[in-house]
């Protein structure tokens, strides 16, 4: 017979409120909350992105059905002050709106109404909702890493273990089998002696001393067997069985993201700010969703160099424009540190599209020959509306290379939808 089990989550948050109830509430109104988060981030600065948010839900969306006791049957009322109508009269419906207002709120002439339901998303909940439907495309698990991930697998039962792993059914089954095994022979002997004792008592010469002596000996033997059977323990330590679990290493998804940013003279402060916003959003997404991921920051003008996170977002160095220098450096680093057979390699590039004319064709060739064959996904973002030579060269790859995508960002408010479009989960259409 199946036994229904119910798990009650009694964990409390810092304000002594149920964590389980709040999680169920967030799941129930996931669609409305996601829409509220999208509206919130469109008007935020990148540095304010990690703050919480007040979410407003319409009152009718959170209302719950209730049971009540209504007055049924036919009832007659006598209203005070009635001097015009009698019983059976038909009263016309009031013309016009019947005094009703034209507003969309819940106001009433009695001064009573209900406001919309407002609650606050915490910082962690806000970021989880914002990045919920995003993921690195084509991410696969590779060979076991130096520090492997471990996964527990069932491996039968063992006689030693912690009380939490005790398997009650298996232990009781073993105890029952032991009692049956230990008591099998005594029970057979007991039945034989009881039958023999009954025969002796029914013997015609039962009163004789010899038979009486045999009866006493049989009764003593029966009592001894019963005592022996009572001494068999109901459960013994050797009956206990514990769930046994073994840990086995599993392949880990090692990933590296290359961030390439143009810092040439054609990138004015507004374009650099948009590029930094894009990469800062990418940085928060990767560090929050993937524990084991390497980030490589590459800045370039006429020359490319690998820099730290601080230098990437705050350095003010500038110069001419040779985009291929960053692609060459990325290719060298991949070959030296991140072989494609062991790592999931990703690339994200931001530029205004302005490049030395003869270098743009080389950039496309570097992508086709060296970069795209070894990366899972490569995203190019142009922080300018005008289509320049680099955009035109990269446009030849769109639709031909399945792991290549390119978008334009002309204003700061376009960063969020473009980012979500580039890194949405596979199979998600919106």
Question: Model confidence over 126-175: pLDDT tens digits?
Answer: 767 766 666 776 666 655 445 566 778 888 888 888 888 888 888 888 88
Q: Indicate the helix (H) or strand (E) that contains 257.
A: strand 255-262
Residue segments in the chain with a per-residue pLDDT below the cut of 70: 1-22, 38-56, 58-65, 70, 78, 96-117, 119, 123, 127, 130-134, 137-149, 206-207, 249-253, 426-430
Cα separations in angstroms, 377 against 284, 344, 345, 420: 18, 9, 7, 15
Specify the pLDDT at position 110. 47
pTM as predicted? 0.55
- For residues 117 and 56, the answer to whether their CB atoms sit within 8 Å is yes
For residue 283, which of 138, 397, 131 has the smallest C-alpha distance? 131
Cα separations in angstroms, 283 against 280, 289, 306: 5, 10, 16
For residue 59, which of 104, 2, 91 has the smallest C-alpha distance? 104
Q: How far apart are CA 301 and CA 303, in angstroms?
A: 5
The one-character DSSP state at 374 is T
For residue 21, which of 35, 34, 5, 9 has the smallest C-alpha distance? 9
Handedness of CA 203, 209, 212, 218 (dihedral sign): negative
- For residues 179 and 238, the answer to whether their CB atoms sit within 8 Å is no
Structure tokens at 255: 């990933």
Specify the pLDDT at position 333. 93
Specify the pLDDT at position 218. 85
């Amino acid at each position: 017979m199946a036994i229904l089990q119910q798990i009650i989550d009694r964990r409390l948050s810092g304000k002594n409120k149920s964590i389980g109830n709040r999680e169920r509430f967030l799941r129930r109104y996931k669609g409305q909350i996601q829409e509220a988060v999208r509206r919130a981030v469109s008007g935020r600065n990148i540095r304010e992105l990690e703050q919480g948010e007040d979410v407003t839900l319409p009152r009718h969306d959170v209302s719950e059905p209730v049971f009540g006791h209504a007055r049924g049957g036919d009832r007659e009322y006598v209203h005070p002050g009635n001097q015009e109508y009698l019983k059976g009269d038909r009263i016309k419906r009031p013309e016009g709106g019947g005094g009703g207002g034209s507003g969309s709120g819940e106001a009433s002439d009695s001064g009573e109404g209900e406001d919309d339901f407002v609650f606050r998303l915490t910082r962690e909940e806000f970021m989880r909702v914002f990045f919920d439907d995003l993921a690195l495309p084509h991410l696969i698990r590779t060979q076991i890493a130096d520090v492997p991930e471990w996964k527990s697998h069932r491996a039968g039962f063992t006689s030693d273990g912690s009380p939490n792993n005790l398997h009650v059914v298996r232990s009781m089954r073993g105890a029952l089998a032991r009692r049956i095994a230990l008591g099998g022979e005594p029970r057979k002997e007991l039945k034989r002696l009881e039958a023999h004792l009954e025969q002796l008592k029914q013997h015609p010469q039962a009163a004789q001393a010899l038979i009486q002596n045999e009866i006493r000996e049989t009764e003593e033997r029966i009592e001894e067997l019963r005592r022996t059977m009572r001494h068999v323990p109901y459960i013994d330590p050797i009956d206990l069985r514990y769930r046994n679990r073994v840990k086995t290493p599993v392949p880990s998804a090692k990933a590296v993201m290359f961030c390439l940013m143009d810092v040439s003279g054609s990138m004015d402060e507004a374009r650099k700010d948009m590029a930094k916003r894009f990469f800062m959003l990418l940085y928060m997404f990767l560090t929050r969703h993937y524990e084991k991921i390497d980030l490589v920051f590459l800045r370039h003008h006429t020359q490319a160099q690998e820099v730290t996170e601080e230098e990437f977002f705050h350095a003010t160095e500038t110069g001419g424009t040779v985009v291929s220098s960053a692609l060459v450096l990325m290719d060298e680093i991949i070959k030296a540190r991140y072989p494609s057979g062991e790592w999931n390699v990703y690339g994200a590039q931001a530029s205004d599209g302005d490049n030395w004319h003869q270098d743009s064709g080389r950039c496309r060739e570097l992508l086709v020959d060296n970069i795209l064959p070894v990366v899972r996904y490569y995203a190019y973002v142009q922080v300018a509306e005008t289509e320049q030579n680099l955009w035109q060269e990269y446009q030849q790859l769109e639709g031909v290379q399945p792991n290549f995508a390119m978008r334009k960002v002309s204003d700061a408010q376009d960063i969020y939808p473009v980012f979500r479009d580039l890194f949405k989960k596979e199979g998600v259409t919106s």
